[in-house]
Amino acid sequence: MKNKFITLIVLLFGIALFAQQAKLNESAPNFTLKDSNGKEHSLSDFKGKIVLLEWINYDCPFVKKHYNSKNMQSLQEKYTSKGIIWLAICSSAPGKQGNFSADEINKRSKDHNAKFTAYLVDENGKVGKMYGAKTTPHMFIINAEGKLVYAGGIDDKATTDVEDLMSARNFVSAALDELMNGKQITTQSSTPYGCSVKY
């Protein structure tokens, strides 16, 4: 009887862990992923810091818009220089668009002069599904208290046209600026746009 009870507790605990989903204004689920250099990173490593999650797929035309124009790298450089942790996450499954070898990831990141903290590989899609990542890019911001405070698109121009960046309302920079200045985030969610995440 005791063994059955223990088994049931373990099973329920496992289900609870598996069912954990990211929700706005609640604690962001922890995760551990390896970066393109084989080093492990856990969200919990960055306790007390603002963390931005950027879902990425270098072959997606929408991602190319932001990287070829240097828009994404400019944001990365601006905010990482202020102590914000910027994690690019690729949830493309093996054989799907955006899934590359570590060497290819590092080559492309170098060619783009990317300024993120790390490029994390989520081949089984577990973290992407946990956060409900639907597109590339899809952006999430976690505050210093570990709560998810923004989820959505990078801006309000759902196109692949670089020229649209000039008139776009950038939700991510607005949210980060408000957060760093101790203000309430005006827009906590928006509709993400881009290519579908290639689970």
Q: Which structural domain, as residue segments, surrounds residue 142?
A: 23-196
Task: Identify whether 7 is part of a domain.
Answer: no
Q: Give the pLDDT of the chain (199 residues) as one tens digit per residue.
A: 444 544 434 344 444 444 579 999 999 999 999 999 999 999 999 999 999 999 999 999 999 999 999 999 999 999 999 999 999 999 999 999 999 999 999 999 999 999 999 999 999 999 999 999 999 999 999 999 999 999 999 999 999 999 999 999 999 999 999 999 999 999 999 999 999 999 9
Task: Tell whether 5 is covered by a domain.
Answer: no
Residue 19 has a pLDDT of 52
Answer yes or no: is 36 within a domain. yes
Question: How many domains would you assign to the chain?
Answer: 1
Q: For the chain, give the number of residues.
A: 199
Q: Is residue 116 part of a domain?
A: yes
Give the CATH number, domain containing residue 129. 3.40.30.10
Please list, in sequence order, all residues whose beta carbon lies within 8 angstroms of the beta carbon of residue 152, skipping any fewer than 6 positions away: 138, 139, 171, 187, 189, 190, 191, 192
Does residue 121 lie within any of the structural domains? yes
Q: Answer yes or no: is 16 within a domain.
A: no
Q: Residue 10: inside a domain, yes or no?
A: no
Query: Which pLDDT belongs to residue 9?
Result: 40
